[in-house]
Structure 1
Amino acid sequence: MDGSVRQEALERLDVLAGEWVVEADFPGQTMPDTPAARCVFEWTLDGRFLVQRTEIPVAEAPDSMAIIAADPETGAYTQHYFDSRGVARVYAMSFAGGVWRLLREAPDFSPLDFRQRFTGQVSDDGATIRGSWETSHDDSTTWEHDFTLTYRRSG
């Protein structure tokens, strides 16, 4: 394969590249004057991978880094996630039609005590992503809202 499938998949992620301010909303929790997180998406290794770095100025929340790769044959995405707690996870990812999805339903580097999924919608102008994380403790039969994230382009 000539790599065109992977290249097309990676080009779809260009809308994420840049700097973002991230705000979280946790149900039932009021967090007044909580500073927003900073997130940067940047290309690395000749544009073959998209790196996401998130710094959160809240002691209870981990800083993180994720590396997004596209399969050269299918264009399917995988997100490799790492954080300051020492957590390492692998998410199946899709990005199409302005909808960004992450899904973790299989054990990887850490036990699968619960399943996770994220769905985010990119605004028409590419300046905002509104999304939410959900968890399942019963093999993906029932999903519960965990928290909401809003990304706002800052650079």
Structure 2
Amino acid sequence: MDATERQEALKRLDVLVGEWVVEAEFPGLEVPPGRSVFEWTLDGQFLVQRTEAPNPAPDSMAVVAVDPETGGYTQHYYDARGVVRLYAMTFAEGAWQLLRETPDFSPLDFRQRFTAQVGEDGDSIRGVWEMWRDGSEGYQRDFSLSYRRIRR
């Protein structure tokens, strides 16, 4: 991947930059909204997401980088529980996916994925987190997650 392709891959993420209200729908729970901010850091080489979330979700931070070999993205995730995870990420034509199917900094007790779609207005994102535990038949819904931009 050359420098031009890397910059194009980073530019695709510009739609995420800004401040968002985040609403999670957990089965059987009423959860107040949280807040998430996406911003560029280190001269625009990485996209950082900081999220303040109400219980049961933890506050978190994620750093998105372009993989120089594949041109895909990697999301490095950290949260207030001390959890550290590494997700393979795709983002193209408004479709956003995070995928964790191999052990990383922690054992792989379950597989996990997030799939979402950016709305046509560019100011909304609707998605779902799913889990696949050993012995289950494929991915099962964990919780829904929606973003609504309140500031660019």
Deviation of 1:72 (Å): 2.8
For residue 6 of structure 1, report the CA deviation from its aligned partner. 1.1
C-alpha contact 1:3 1:72 (8 A) present in aligned 2: no
Change (3 A) 1:140 1:45: farther
Give the drift of 1:75.
Answer: 1.8
1:125 equivalent to 2:121? Answer yes
- Identify which of 41, 54, 57 aligns with 1:44: 41
Where does structure 2 lack aligned partners over 5 or more consecutive residues? none
Pairwise CA distance, 1:57: 3.0
- SS of match in other structure, 1:132: strand
| Structure 1 moving runs of 4+ over 6 Å | none
- The aligned runs of 1:4-153 (5 Å cut-off) are 4-27=4-27, 29-31=28-30, 34-58=31-55, 60-138=56-134, 142-153=138-149
How much does 1:142 deviate? 0.9
SS in 2 for 1:154: strand
What per-residue deviation string (whole Å, max 9, x for no partner) do you get for residues 65-100 of structure 1?
Answer: 000000234321000000000000000000011100
Partner SS, residue 104 of structure 2: coil
* TM-score normalised by L of structure 2: 0.94
1:39 Cα deviation after fit: 0.1
Matched to 2:14, the amino acid is D
Uncovered stretches (5+) of structure 1, i.e. residues with no partner = none
Q: 1:109 to 1:139 in 2, by over 3 A?
A: farther
Give the aligned residue type for 1:116: Q
**Contact 1:6 1:75 survives alignment (8 Å):** yes
Work out the CA distance in 1 between the residues paired with 2:71 and 2:138: 29
* 3-state SS in 2 of match to 1:126: coil
Distance in 2 of aligned mates of 1:130 and 1:26: 14
Q: How big is the shift at 1:61?
A: 2.1
Query: RMSD over aligned Cα, in angstroms?
Result: 1.5
